[in-house]
Structure formats: C-alpha cells, structure tokens
Amino acid sequence: MTSPLLRRLGRAIGQAQDPLIVCLLGLTALSPLVKSTLPRSFDGLFHLFRLLEIEHLLNQGVPFPRWAPDLLYGYGLPVFNFVPHLPYY
C-alpha cells in the first residue's frame, strides 16, 4: 500500500515528463544556432564575399548594386544581375 502523497508525487512526475522531453528536444534542435562559426557549405565563402561587397556598395550610396567591382581579383563581376539581392540585405 502506498501513501496518497507518493501517488500524487508519481502523477506529478508523470505529467511533467512530457513537457520536459519536448523542452529537451527543442534545446537539442536549437544547439547549432548558438555556435560561433559559420555553417559549413560549398558556397558559404562566396556568400560572405557577396555580403561584404553589398555592404561596401551600400556605404558608397548604391542602393541596388548590379556590378561588384571588388570581386574577381578587382576586375569586377556582374553577380548581382543574376543573384537576388534580398538575402544579402
């Protein structure tokens, strides 16, 4: 025979188990977002160069750049004619 206190405690633990599992799974899913490094990808470095180029052009007063003058070893590249701008803003 178990005491009513132990039965209530067992029910409380059983009810708290599901939200605890959901929170732990959520924290596990969010753990890659707290890393301080860039995600590994094939073209990640190209996106970083494009982002820096857009920042440089916006600081010069070009609102919608089409030509990236500093890419391709300083010769320039019309990359923004073919790539959408919105992800870089």
Q: What is the pLDDT of residues 6-50, one digit of tens each?
A: 677 667 666 667 787 888 888 888 888 887 777 788 988 888 899
The three-class DSSP label of residue 51 is helix
pTM higher than 0.85: no
Residue spans per domain, the chain: 4-34, 44-88
Q: Write out pLDDT tens, residues 53-66.
A: 999 999 999 988 99
**Count of residues making up the chain:** 89
For residue 55, how many other CB atoms are within 10 A of its CB?
12
